[in-house]
């Protein structure tokens, strides 16, 4: 890369169904552990038994700060749990880990002006909307909290992060359905390339494991059916028996930094953010066009902007949500873009986490960065039978992680509305 500022990743933080904290979550991912469980078992009286799909990727919680679990008091002051929606609480936790990891928790005043936040969510706080409405109907205005409006806003995670750390640079929040996380990271990278900031905390959060959300996704027939009694088998991207996606929750945060800035302070560099490509299908709200033309455009432009060739990419973290049509179209798009597709490792970590909606692109960017850093392609769980007749003839890393040289990797995110983005991460080379 020449010319514009180069951007590198110097910190990571995660809240996910396969664990909280990077070390824990990555270990779970490469060991093939699933984070998908029964909502009926976890929340017995919540009414999930009336829905056709009763499973989800659920963030493990504890009130004893147990390793790998979410315990609000580890990242929030007393009272914050009332003032912040759950998606903001997850965001605060992931941001805290990423900033500590990057050793960027207490920059000086001038540096704080050059530090920004780009943090999104797909849905925001549906839970606060539905419960506040119930309270209003039952008890009128006096039941409505003054925190109601600020809590539900989609940019409040970005706001709260900047308030806690005093970051005075760009403060932005993306909401592009299931492409949110990828757009937040790509846009943050551009803020740095354009000179708007030296450091950006980028990512996304989602917390919509909520009756109304599941009911809505059931109505568009998007959720996995037939696995209520075997939740960990439900998310099976590329497999013949896949039947839909499994909803998940969590947050991913990355510290992105201008290369010279990172070097000057001796920061550890995980990888370089090399490429970013965006496209719209301009076709339909959920169905992809034949051959995945939109996905192809996003991947091609990400690779072009990375100034590398497809042969340099060793791993693709696919969007693949385990829906019959989506996986098939993405697979054919990957095959059209990569002349060397037979030498690629392609996997979907959603097989372990479920689909984190707005947060998916952020946690998958983290797994992609770690794949590049550690030369490990994470596995696709539950891939028992692939239909070669349907065009599924690549290396999908079934069941077990694969060690291989990964000098660059690409991650895809596609969202409702027909919005597609791809990011390319590469090993940092001087
Ligand atoms: C977070 O935002 C809420 C409003 O949604 C506000 O009341 C609270 O003080 C903020 N807390 C922090 C730590 O930024
Ligand atoms: C782009 O996003 C849409 C979201 O509606 C998705 O269905 C589609 O698969 C993506 N495009 C392609 C061609 O894969």
CATH number of the domain within which 68 lies: 3.40.47.10
Residue 3, in any domain of the structure: no
Residue 92, in any domain of the structure: yes
Calculate mean pLDDT across residues 228-251. 98
At 285 the pLDDT is 65
Among candidate residues 209, 236, 264, the one where a domain is terminated: 264
Whether residue 306 sits in one domain with residue 256? no
User: Whose atoms come closest to the Cα of 158: which ligand?
Assistant: 1
Q: Which range of residues forms the domain containing residue 13?
A: 8-264
Calculate mean pLDDT across residues 281-296. 74
Whether residue 284 sits in one domain with residue 241? no
* Mean pLDDT estimate for the chain: 95
pLDDT in tens, 373-390: 999 999 999 999 998 889
Closest ligand 1 atom to Cα of 156: 5
Whether residue 258 sits in one domain with residue 137? yes
Secondary structure of the chain in HEC code, one letter for each residue: CCCCCCEEEEEEEEEECCEECHHHHHHHHHCCCCCEEEHHHHCCCCCHHHCCCCEEECCCECCCCCCCCECHHHCCCCCHHHHCCHHHHHHHHHHHHHHHHCCCCCCCHHHHHCEEEEEECCCCCHHHHHHHHHHHHHHCHHHCCCCHHHHHCCCHHHHHHHHHHCCCCCEECCCCHHHHHHHHHHHHHHHHHCCCCCEEEEEEEECCCCHHHHHHHHHCCCECCCCCCCHHHCCCCCCCCCCCECEECEEEEEEEEEHHHHHHCCCCCCEEEEEEEEEECCCCCCCCCHHHHHHHHHHHHHHHHCCCCHHHEEEEECCCCCCHHHHHHHHHHHHHHCCCHHHCEEECCHHHHCECHHHHHHHHHHHHHHHHHHCEECCECCCCCCCHHHCCCCECCECCCEECCCCEEEEEEEECCCEEEEEEEECCCC
At 276 the pLDDT is 96
Residue 206, in any domain of the structure: yes
* Among protein residues, the one whose CA lies closest to atom 4 of ligand 1: 150
The answer to whether residue 66 scores a pLDDT higher than 80 is yes
Whether residue 211 sits in one domain with residue 106? yes
At 281 the pLDDT is 72
Calculate mean pLDDT across residues 202-207. 98
Residue 269, in any domain of the structure: no
At 286 the pLDDT is 66
Residue 270, in any domain of the structure: no
At 416 the pLDDT is 86
Residue 324, in any domain of the structure: yes
User: Whose atoms come closest to the Cα of 323: which ligand?
Assistant: 2
Whether residue 244 sits in one domain with residue 286? no
The answer to whether residue 1 scores a pLDDT higher than 60 is no
Whether residue 300 sits in one domain with residue 228? no
Domain count, the chain: 2
Residue 1, in any domain of the structure: no
Among candidate residues 264, 284, 313, the one where a domain is terminated: 264
The answer to whether residue 262 scores a pLDDT higher than 60 is yes
Whether residue 291 sits in one domain with residue 249? no
At 197 the pLDDT is 97
Closest ligand 2 atom to Cα of 329: 14
Calculate mean pLDDT across residues 306-322. 96
At 424 the pLDDT is 98
* Among protein residues, the one whose CA lies closest to atom 6 of ligand 1: 83
- From 83, 88, 99, mutation site for ligand 1 pocket: most ligand atoms within 8 A of C-beta: 83
Whether residue 300 sits in one domain with residue 170? no
Ligand 2 centroid from CA 158, angstroms: 27
Whether residue 260 sits in one domain with residue 394? no
77-91, 135-149, 269-283: segment of lowest average pLDDT: 269-283
- From 122, 244, 294, mutation site for ligand 2 pocket: most ligand atoms within 8 A of C-beta: 294
Whether residue 296 sits in one domain with residue 207? no
Whether residue 304 sits in one domain with residue 203? no
pLDDT in tens, 392-401: 999 999 999 9
Ligand 1 centroid from CA 99, angstroms: 19
Among candidate residues 245, 264, 283, the one where a domain is terminated: 264
Calculate mean pLDDT across residues 294-312. 93
How sure is the predictor about 417, in pLDDT bands with cuts at 50, 70 and 90? confident
Residue 376, in any domain of the structure: yes
Whether residue 81 sits in one domain with residue 228? yes
How sure is the predictor about 139, in pLDDT bands with cuts at 50, 70 and 90? very high
């Amino acid at each position: 890369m020449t010319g514009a500022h180069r951007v590198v990743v110097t910190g990571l933080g995660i809240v996910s169904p396969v664990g909280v904290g990077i070390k824990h979550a990555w270990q779970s991912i490469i060991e093939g552990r699933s984070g998908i469980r029964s909502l009926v078992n976890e929340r017995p009286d919540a009414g999930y038994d009336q829905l056709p799909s009763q499973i989800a990727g659920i963030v493990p919680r504890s009130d004893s700060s147990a390793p790998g679990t979410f315990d609000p008091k580890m990242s929030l002051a007393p009272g914050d749990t009332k003032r912040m929606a759950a998606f903001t609480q997850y965001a605060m936790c992931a941001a805290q880990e990423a900033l500590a990891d990057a050793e960027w928790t207490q920059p000086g005043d001038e540096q704080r002006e050059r530090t920004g936040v780009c943090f999104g969510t797909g849905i925001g706080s549906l839970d606060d909307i539905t419960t506040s409405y119930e309270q209003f109907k039952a008890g009128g205005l006096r039941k409505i909290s003054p925190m109601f409006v600020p809590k539900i806003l989609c940019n409040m995670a970005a706001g709260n992060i900047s308030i806690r750390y005093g970051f005075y640079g760009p403060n932005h929040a993306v909401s592009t359905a299931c492409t949110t996380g990828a757009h937040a990271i790509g846009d943050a990278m551009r803020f740095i390339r354009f000179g708007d900031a030296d450091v950006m905390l980028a990512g996304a959060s989602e917390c919509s494991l909520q009756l109304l959300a599941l009911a809505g996704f059931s109505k568009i027939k998007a959720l996995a059916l037939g696995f209520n009694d075997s939740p960990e088998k439900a998310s099976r991207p590329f497999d013949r028996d896949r039947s839909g996606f499994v909803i998940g929750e969590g947050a991913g945060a990355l510290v992105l930094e201008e290369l010279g800035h990172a070097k000057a302070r001796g920061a550890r560099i995980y990888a370089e953010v090399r490429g970013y490509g965006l496209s719209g299908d301009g076709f339909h709200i959920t169905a992809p066009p034949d051959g995945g033309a939109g996905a192809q455009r996003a991947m091609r432009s990400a690779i072009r902007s990375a100034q590398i060739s497809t042969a340099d990419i060793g791993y693709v973290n696919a969007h693949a949500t385990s829906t019959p049509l989506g996986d098939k179209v993405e697979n054919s798009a990957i095959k059209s873009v990569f002349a060397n597709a037979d030498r690629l490792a392609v996997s979907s970590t959603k097989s372990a986490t479920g689909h984190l909606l707005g947060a998916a692109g952020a946690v998958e960017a983290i797994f992609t960065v770690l794949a590049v850093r550690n030369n490990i392609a994470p596995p696709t769980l539950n891939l028992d039978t692939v239909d070669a007749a349907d065009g599924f003839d690549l290396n999908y890393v079934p069941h077990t992680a694969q060690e291989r040289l990964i000098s660059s990797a690409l991650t895809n995110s596609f969202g409702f509305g027909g919005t597609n983005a791809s990011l390319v991460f590469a090993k940092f080379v001087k």
